Structure 1
Amino acid sequence: MPTQKPTAILIVHGAFFLPSSWQPLVNDFTNSQYTVRCPRLPSCGDERPPKATRNDDVAAVRTAAKQLIEAGHNILVLAHSYGGMVTCDAITEDLYASTKSNGIVSLVLLSAWLIQPGNKFEDVIEKYGHQSEVDLGSNEDGTFFAKNAPASFYNDIDPLEAQELAKANVTHNLFAASGAITYAPWKDLSTMYVFCTRDLAIMLPLQRSMVQDAVDAGGKGGFVTEEIDSGHCPFLSKPEEVIRVVNKALGGFE
């Protein structure tokens, strides 16, 4: 395993969100002298009818990673929710740091989908049930939205503020979540999974089940867990806690 410490953070946001939701946290880490990138995933807030697939999201993440590597950075990838699926497809061995080159050295999965290679989102739902209170609405054109975003995404935030935050949520091409996961960078890289204990979008028992599956599948990179007492979006409700766990990972999980 490479021992380089990260100098950059690559954020992979979730479905129904845009990079702007992460801007306060981006500012905090930038002020701490880290280079931070949060590329927009094309399937989020896509055209109607939607054109972007998960392949387009993967391409956006890989482009951002390569740009950081070319700039001489070692990278921690921070993935949230659907961003975990994108990350597992995007972060392949050619992007890893080595003794001869910069690259990706570690992962932090923040209440993220953690699906085994060869499996699909639907397989996890079939195995563990629909453990989510997100009420999805369809625009009948391939785009979907969260009808109850204030209650399901921001249940740990003042209701009036939650209503305002929900205005920034966007549509998602839900079919981008379809198709088998192709890769498992968490088997190779030091990885932290952060449980969000009050999450109503990916509920805690489901988070734990996905992590247990990953632990059972093994991995030489090392797999540690942390908890934040929050809903689905601690980067908005408890940013200081996200900073705490990410700083731990930036320091080498020590």
Structure 2
Amino acid sequence: MYPQPTLVLVPGSFATTDMYEPLVAPLRAKGHTIHVLEPPCYPASYKTSSGKPPPSMYDDAKFINTFVVELIEEGKEVVVLAHSYGGIPASESLKGVTKKEREQLGKKGGVVRIAYLAAIVPRIGQSLGGFTDGNDTLPVEVGEDGWMFQPDSAATARVCFNNLSPETGAAAAAKFGKHYSACFGDKLTHNGYKDIPVSWLLCEEDLCVIPEMQQTSIVAIEESWVGTEREGRKVDITRASCDHIPIVDEGKRKEVSQWVEKILKMGGQE
């Protein structure tokens, strides 16, 4: 038995792993084990995607699942933390890897909790694109190769980094990479959140995934528990006065850090 679970962080779209370093580096220094993933639809894959078939959200989910399997086969307990777009492939990825499913097979280890940070979490049969239809606030364009990019850093900053000064926000947005567009149309086929405790950091000043959209996801999760052994449970919600990416500003990042330590301490406990 491990004292605390391992954290697997699934970033938001356009984000590279180094964007999360200001958050995870101090937590690692405290002794927490944290892995920040960069699945196939993310910027790193664009740099090496020449000649390869286009990736999908399902490729992202398989990537996450494969990584988690390596950890739980060692008997480790895992908390998956998904940011923004990461909410859908993270949810999709949990088939066969939750602690509940592992225990039924007489195996140790497993995912004991999934946590969402300003995320998008659809219902079965729903895609990210369908979920966000009508909320076209983010200035995104799609290249001929199908990869999305954000041509106006200042405009992106006004949506994603609205807690920062315009100059600081634009500098942060300029670091975004490309993200493959087709994954936004891939529908959820497995709602992995149905089997385990769920935590949510609800960003109340988010202009990208607005609070009402986050609340819709929370309702979908709790409704998935109706008729199961989890019926009557509630998503563990922490509210924070922050924007969509509260890891650049030191004060906001502190709130996220405290929340991460909280969910790791909770592990699989309700």
* TM-score, shorter chain, exceeding 0.5: yes
Over aligned residues, Cα RMSD in angstroms?
2.3
- Matched-pair contact (CA < 8 Å) for 2:218–2:235: no
- Identify which of 84, 97, 102 aligns with 1:94: 97
The percentage of aligned residue pairs carrying the same residue is 22
1:249 equivalent in alignment to 2:269: no
Q: Which amino acid aligns with 2:64?
A: V
The match for 1:177 is 184
SS in 2 for 1:226: strand
Q: Per-residue displacement from partner, 1:74-124 (whole Å, max 9, x unpaired)?
A: 111110011001111111133436554012101110011110112222432
* Pairing partner for 1:190 from 185, 197, 215: 197
Q: What SS class does the counterpart of residue 193 from structure 1 fall into?
A: strand
User: CA separation in 2, counterparts of 1:143 and 1:84?
Assistant: 20
State the partner residue of 2:58. Answer: 55
Distance 1:136 1:112 in 2: 18
TM-score after normalising by structure 1: 0.89
The answer on whether the counterparts of 1:59 and 1:90 sit within 8 Å (CA) in structure 2 is yes
CA distance change for structure 1 residues 213 and 72 in 2, over 3 Å: closer, same or farther?
Answer: closer
1:133 corresponds in structure 2 to 137
Structure 2, unaligned runs of 5 or more: none
Q: More displaced, 116-125 or 100-109?
A: 116-125
Task: Show the counterpart of 1:114.
Answer: 121
| 1:132 Cα deviation from its structure 2 partner | 4.8
| TM-score relative to the length of structure 2 | 0.84
2:247 is paired with a residue whose SS is helix
Q: Tell me how far apart the structure 2 counterparts of residues 9 and 222 of structure 1 sit (CA, whole Å).
A: 22
Q: Is residue 168 of structure 1 aligned with residue 175 of structure 2?
A: yes
- Cα displacement (A) at 1:216: 2.6
What's the CA shift for 1:28? 1.8
- Does the aligned pair in 2 maintain the 1:132–1:202 contact within 8 Å? no
- Please state how far the C-alpha of 1:140 moved relative to its aligned partner: 2.8
Contact 1:18 1:40 in 2 (8 A): yes
> Partners in 2 of 1:142 and 1:58 — Cα distance?
19
Between the aligned partners of 1:111 and 1:207, the Cα distance in structure 2 is 7
State how many pairs are aligned. 249
2:29 equivalent to 1:31: yes
Q: Which of 212, 225, 228 is residue 237 of structure 2 equivalent to?
A: 225
Task: Report the 3-state secondary structure (helix = DSSP H, G, I; strand = E; otherwise coil) of the residue aligned with 1:134.
Answer: coil
Alignment-derived partner of residue 254 in structure 2 = 240
Q: CA deviation at 1:167?
A: 2.0
Stretch deviating more after TM superposition (215-224 or 181-190): 215-224
Q: Secondary structure of 2:200's match? A: strand
- Alignment CA distance shift 1:203-1:12 (3 Å): same
Tell me: CA distance 1:211–1:4, structure 2 relative to 1, closer, same or farther (3 Å).
farther
What amino acid does structure 2 have at the position aligned with 1:223? V
The question of 1:79 aligning with 2:82 is answered yes
